[in-house]
Amino acid sequence: MKFGVVGSSGRMGRLLIAQILKTPGAELVGAAGQAGSPAIGHDAGLFAGVDPCGVRVTDDALPLFADADAVLDFTVPEATVQYAAWAAQGKTVHVVGTTGLDKAQEEKLTLAARHTPVVYAANMSIGINLLLAMVERAAATLQPSTDIEIQELHHRHKVDAPSGTALALGRAAAEGRGAVLDDVAVFDRHGHTGARPEGAIGFAALRGGEVVGEHSVMFIGADERLELTHKASNRAIYAEGAVRAALWAYGKAPGMYGMREVLGIN
């Protein structure tokens, strides 16, 4: 299976390249980075910190969508929307790990998915996706009076808050209760807030150091508390999940898929 990577000059891009090069049955055929990046013109493998692979990093992403069977995309929302359109035209599997997309941008992915398989997930980690399923089940099982709080901790460089994964966990909890997250989410507490509304799902975003990512969902009842936590110590877990998603999606019918489908989680 032929792979392309956009955002190759970034930290996640390099991990994606390294993961593809060590995955049986996967071949890297193209890598694109941001114009002006020091990666441009260099061997993608060497730039990723592994053996040379003979693929040079370019600043033109368009050919990837003609040459590759799947393109892995951990970039920025504006770029992802353009890549989705190219993936639709080229019938290329588009695996999207970009965070921070708004509803209009997500709709563009949905439109592209009419023509090609798109796997879109706020977090490609296998462990996180198991956590999402457990959170939905716990929310559905516990009493409606149980308070739900979501806390996430990331490195100082992260630009969006709460994280896309925290929001996905909130949606899973809300769905478990038969609610819509937008109706029950509480993102800010400052000053005289009054009592906590029943049914609310609270968020806390922490930033500092070089923490890869930690997420905790707390179900707080009157007499007991359940905490479900995932801690990532290496970003390579996201690359592993993305490559697995692309291999799974290859040959599938056009449509919008998530990691639950990839992993077979009901």
Is residue 240 pLDDT above 90, yes or no? yes
State the pLDDT at residue 100: 85
pLDDT of residue 122: 81
For the segment 94-112, the average pLDDT, to the nearest whole number, is 95
Cα gap 35→60, rounded to integer Å: 8
Contacts (Cβ under 8 Å, ≥6 apart) of 184: 174, 199, 200, 201
Mean pLDDT of 21-25: 96
Indicate if the pLDDT at residue 123 is higher than 90. no
In the chain, the percentage of residues whose pLDDT exceeds 70 is 100
* pLDDT for the residue numbered 160: 87
C-alpha span between 114 and 44 (Å, rounded): 32
**Once rounded to an integer, what is the mean pLDDT over residues 130-154?**
97
Spacing of C-alpha 129 from chain mean position: 10
pLDDT at 255 over 80: yes
Mean pLDDT calculated for residue range 132-141: 97
What is the predicted pLDDT for the residue at 266?
67
Element (H, E) at 71: strand 70-73
pLDDT, average across residues 35-43: 92
- Residues whose CB is less than 8 angstroms from the CB of residue 49 and which lie 6 or more positions away in sequence, other chains included: 14, 18
pLDDT in tens, 169-225: 999 999 999 999 999 999 999 999 999 999 999 999 999 999 999 999 999 999 999
Structure token digits, residue 151 = 């806390």
Tokens of 147: 């308070």
Give me the domains of the chain, ranges plus CATH numbers: 2-120+235-263 (3.40.50.720), 126-232 (3.30.360.10)
* Residue 118 pLDDT > 80: yes
pLDDT for position 99: 85
Helix (H) or strand (E) holding 16: helix 11-21
Catalytic residue annotation: 154, 158
Q: With bands split at pLDDT 50, 70 and 90, how would you rate the model's confidence at 60?
A: very high
Task: Tell me the average pLDDT of the chain.
Answer: 95
Residue 164's pLDDT is what? 86
Distance between CA atoms of 82 and 48, rounded to whole angstroms? 25
Distant-in-sequence, close-in-space partners of 242: CB < 8 Å, separation ≥ 6: 16, 19, 72, 74, 95, 97, 124
Whether pLDDT at 86 is above 80: yes
The 10 Å CB-count burial string (b at 16+, else e) for 142-180 is beeebbbbbbbbbeeebeebbbbbbbbbbbbbbbbbebe
Residues 49-78: what's their mean pLDDT?
96
Farthest CA pair distance, the chain:
62
What is the percent of the chain with per-residue pLDDT over 90, rounded to a whole number?
Answer: 93
Q: Which of 96, 173, 86 is nearest to 135 (CA)?
A: 173
> Of 167, 8, 160, 2, which Cα lies nearest the Cα of 79?
8
d(C-alpha 32, C-alpha 19), whole Å = 16
Q: Distance between CA atoms of 265 and 90, rounded to whole angstroms?
A: 29
Report pLDDT for 265.
87
Which token pair is 87?
């993936």
